[in-house]
Amino acid sequence: MEQIQWSDFEKVALRAGTILEVLDFPEARKPAFKIKADFGDLGVKWSSAQITKHYTKSELIGRQIIGVLNFPKKQIANFSSEFLVTGFADQDGHIVLASVERPVPNGSALI
C-alpha cells in the first residue's frame, strides 16, 4: 500500500452531513438513491449512492453520513452528484455506509 503524507490526508474534505431527502434514481445503471444532505455552513448538497441493498429511503432520513466534499461534480445519467458518500463493501460487494458514532455538527471535519 502506498504511503501518503499527513498533508495529503488534509486535502480530503471528509465532512459530516445529515440526510434530508432520499429519492429513487431509476436512470442510474446500477441501483442507487439520490441523497440530499445538509453539511452546515458548507451547504445542502446532492449525491448518488449505490446503497439500496442495506437501506430503505425512510431509514436514511435524519442519519448522519460522511461525505467527501471537494471532488469535482460528477454527472451520473441526468443527475449532477456534488459529493461522494463514503462506505465499505460487504462480503457481497454491497455498500455499508460510513457514519459517525454520535451526532456532531453538520459540516464537521473528520480529523
Cα–Cα distance measured from residue 79 to residue 77, given in angstroms and rounded to the nearest whole number: 6
Q: Count the Cβ atoms, other than its own, within 10 Å of residue 65.
A: 24
Query: In the structure grid, which three cell numbers stand for residue 58, read together?
Result: 425512510
Q: Domains in the chain, please, with CATH?
A: 13-97 (2.40.50.140)
Identity of residue 111 = I
Give the max Cα distance, the chain.
40
8 Å CB contact between 99 and 63: yes
Start-end of H helices in 1-111 = 6-10, 57-60
Residue 107 binned pLDDT confidence (cut-offs 50, 70, 90):
very high
In the chain, what percentage of residues exceed pLDDT 70? 100
8 Å CB contact between 69 and 18: no
2-52, pLDDT tens digit by residue? 999 999 999 999 999 999 999 999 999 999 999 999 999 999 999 999 999
pTM above 0.85, yes or no: yes
